[in-house]
Structure 1
Amino acid sequence: MGAAALGAPGMAWAQSDRPVKFILPVGVGSGVDTITRAAGPALSAALGHTVVIENQPGAGGIVGTSALVRSAPDGYTLSMLSNNHVIFPSVYKSLPFDPLTDITPISMVGMTPFLLVANPQKIPANDIKALTALLKSQPGRYNYASSGNGTILHLAAEMYVQQAGVKARHIPYKGVGPMMSDLIGGQVDFGVLSLPSVLPQVKSGALKALGACGGERMAALPDLPTLREQGLADYEIGGWFAAAGPAKLPASDVRRIHDALGRAFNSPDVKQAMAAQNNRIVLMPPEQTEAYFRSEMAKYAVVVKGAGLELM
C-alpha cells in the first residue's frame, strides 16, 4: 500500500490527458520560440502529453516569466528561459519575482553561438587583435550596436570592450532587425550577433566576422578563431535556453521532465532541426543548471556595473 501510495501522483499524471503548457516570455519567431516549436512534437511524445506553446512577451520577458511564477507547481506549466532571465536583477531596479527562488531549474537545453562582426567598409581590421589595436589608437571614435540596453547582445559586446581595455560608444536599437540593418548600412561599426541571425550576411560579405564568442569554434565557421584564442583569455559568452518550472516543483516531476527533455532533444528530428538552426544541444542535470544560472547572474552583474548602466 505504501508503494502504491508513493506511485499514485505519477500514475495520475501519466493517465491525465491534460496538455503541458510551455509559457515562452518571448514573441513568435524569436530564437527560443523557434527552438521550442521545432521540438514540440518530440516533447509531446517524450512527456506523453500534448505540448501547447503560449507566447507571453513583454517587458523584456518579465510578463511571461511572471505568469510561470504564478502557476501551480504540478508539472503542467513549464517555460523555456534564456540569458535574459539572469540579467534581470542587474538591469531592473525591482522585479515581481526572484529569478532563482521563484522558479525550479529543470535542465539546460542548448546554446546559440555568438560572434563579433563588423562593417567591412568601416572597420579595416580582420581579427580581434587588429580591432583592439584600432580602437586603442582612436579611443571613442568607433561605436558598437546592440539590440537594446541591457540585452544579452549589449552585454556581449560590452564584455569585449571591458576585457580588451578599449573605448567605443554604445548605440542601442529596438531589436536585432534594425541593429543588423544599420550594421550592414555602415551607420554603426561593430557588434555581437547570434550565428543563426547573421550567418547569411557573413557568407555574403555584407558583414565581416572577427571572432567567435564561445569557448570553442563554431561548426558553421570552423576557421574563425574564438576571442579566447585571440588573446582574451576570460571571454566567453553565448545565448542559452533552459527549461524551468514554478518554484516548489516536486523532485519526482523535475526528474521526469528532465529525462523527457533528454529524450526529445536527442531524437533525430530535433537534433537535425537544432543543427539546421546552428544551435548546439547541451543538456545539464537540474543541480548543474541551477549552479549555471547563479554563475551567469554573477557574470552579467560585473559587466553591467563596469558599463555604468543605469537601472531601468
Structure 2
Amino acid sequence: MENRLYARLALFVAVIVGAGLCASAAMAQDKSDRPGKAASSGESYPARPIRLIVPFGPGGGSDYVGRLVGQKLTEQMGQTVVVDNRPGAASLVGTEIAARAAPDGYTLCLCDVGFTINPAYYRKTSYDPIKGFDPVMVVAETPYIMVVNPGLPYVSSIKDFIATAKAQPGKINLGSAGSGSGTHFSGELFKQRAGVNLVHVPYKSAGLSSADVASGQIQASMSTAPAAMPLVKAGRLKILVSCGAKRSALMPDVPTFAEAGVSGVVMTNWYSVMSVGGTPKPVLKRLHDELARAVAAPDMRERLAKAALEPAPNTPDQFRKLIADELQRWKNVMKDAGIKPE
C-alpha cells in the first residue's frame, strides 16, 4: 500500500515537472520568434543572412546595382546578403513578394523608378507604396537611354532615326524592360513628344531587350546604362540619345533629346534600397548608415562609374518625398500620354 502511494506521488511530481519544462520551452520559443530588445534596438542586427530581392531578371541595371550593394553590405556587416532575382510585371512580382515579408530588416528590396510607376499603371497592387515600405536610401541614378543596332542605316543620329520612324510608321520596334517599367514610360514619352509610331516590345529586363537589339531581333530599345554598357563597349550597341536634362559627365558623347529638338523627354532612373514597412527604426538607421558608407567607398564609386551610374545618396525623409512626388508625376504622364491602367 505504501509502495503504491509512493509510486503515485512520483508520477504526480514527474507530470508537474514535465509540464513546467514544456511551458518554459514554449515561452523560450515564443520569445525567440519575436524581435527581442537587442534586435529591435539594432544592437545584434544582422544576426543572420539578409535577402535582397531584385524584382528584375539578371543582366539589367537593378541586378547590377543589387549585386554591388549585396557584396558591399556583406563585407561591411559580416553577414551574407543574398541577391534574389524575382522578375515579372515590370518589378511588380518581386516587389509584392518583398511586401509580404516580415518587417525585421532581413528582407530588403532593390527598387527603381518603377516602384512609383506601378501604382499608376496597374489598377490594383497588393502593396501600399507609402505604408508598405520604409525607404532606406537611393544608391545611384542614371538617365534612361535609347540603344540601337549600329548596323542599321538610319542611326547616325536621333534626328535621322525620327525621320525614318515618321516615314515608316509602325515598322520599327522599340523594346523595354516590361510594360509599366521606366524604360516603357520613357519610350512612351519619346513617342508622344516626337510624334512617331513605334511598336512597343516588352521584355523581362533591360539586359534582355538590349541583347535582342544587338542580335538584330529588334531595332531599338529604351534601356539603362548598366544593362547596355558591356554591349556598347563591345561595339554591338550604340547609345543614340539620353533622357537626361543635360549630357551626363559619364556619357559626354551622348546627346540629349532636347539637343535634337524633342522637348519634355527627361527621365532619370534611380536605384534604391527599401525595407518592409514597420521595420524597427534602429535597424533602418543601421541599414542607412551602412549603405551611405558603401556608396562613399572609392571602389564602389569606381564600379558605379563604369556603368555610367552616379552616386545619389539621400536621407530617408528626402527619399520619402521623392516617392510621393514621383507617384504623382507618373499619374500625370499616364493621363497626358493616354496610357490606360492594366
Common topology (TM > 0.5): yes
Could you say which structure has the larger radius of gyration? 2
Residue aligning to 1:248:
278
Residues 1-312 of structure 1 mapped to structure 2, 5 A cutoff: 12-15=41-44, 18-19=47-48, 21-24=50-53, 25-28=55-58, 30-44=60-74, 46=76, 48-55=77-84, 57-60=86-89, 61-176=91-206, 179-312=209-342
Residue aligning to 1:5:
none
> Between the two proteins, what is the percent identity of the paired residues?
31
1:19-51 residue CA offsets vs partner (Å, 9 max, x unmatched): 3523313445543333233233532455x4514
Q: Where does the alignment leave 5 or more consecutive residues of structure 1 unmatched?
A: 1-7
Shift in Å, 1:242? 0.9
Q: SS of the residue aligned with 2:257?
A: coil
Q: CA contact under 8 A between 2:110 and 2:274: conserved in structure 1?
A: yes
Call closer, same or farther: CA 1:300–1:126 in 2, change over 3 Å. farther
1:154-193 residue CA offsets vs partner (Å, 9 max, x unmatched): 2221111112233223233454455335433545332212
- The CA RMSD measured in Å over matched residues stands at 3.1
Q: CA contact under 8 A between 2:58 and 2:205: conserved in structure 1?
A: no
Call closer, same or farther: CA 1:157–1:259 in 2, change over 3 Å. same
- Relative contact order, higher structure (CA 8 A, sep 6+): 1
Query: Which letter maps to 2:88?
Result: A
Shift in Å, 1:225? 1.6
- What is the TM-score with the length of structure 1 in the denominator? 0.81
Distance 1:305 1:23 in 2: 33
Q: SS of the residue aligned with 2:86?
A: coil
Q: CA contact under 8 A between 1:146 and 1:153: conserved in structure 2?
A: yes
Query: Which letter maps to 1:83?
Result: V
Q: CA contact under 8 A between 2:42 and 2:282: conserved in structure 1?
A: no
Q: CA contact under 8 A between 1:28 and 1:55: conserved in structure 2?
A: no
- What is the TM-score with the length of structure 2 in the denominator? 0.75
Distance 1:275 1:282 in 2: 12
Q: CA contact under 8 A between 2:70 and 2:83: conserved in structure 1?
A: no
Shift in Å, 1:272? 2.4
Residue aligning to 2:22:
none
Distance 1:137 1:17 in 2: 58
Q: CA contact under 8 A between 1:23 and 1:64: conserved in structure 2?
A: no
Distance 1:192 1:84 in 2: 14
Shift in Å, 1:256? 3.4
Call closer, same or farther: CA 1:203–1:286 in 2, change over 3 Å. same
Query: Which letter maps to 1:21?
Result: I
Shift in Å, 1:104? 1.0
Q: CA contact under 8 A between 1:158 and 1:307: conserved in structure 2?
A: yes
Call closer, same or farther: CA 1:296–1:30 in 2, change over 3 Å. same
Distance 2:301 2:234 in 1: 26
1:82-105 residue CA offsets vs partner (Å, 9 max, x unmatched): 222222123322211112221111
Distance 1:186 1:155 in 2: 23
Distance 2:106 2:242 in 1: 38
Call closer, same or farther: CA 1:258–1:36 in 2, change over 3 Å. same
Q: CA contact under 8 A between 1:104 and 1:247: conserved in structure 2?
A: yes
Distance 1:307 1:147 in 2: 19
Query: Which letter maps to 1:66?
Result: E
Query: Which letter maps to 1:228?
Result: A
Distance 1:77 1:211 in 2: 36
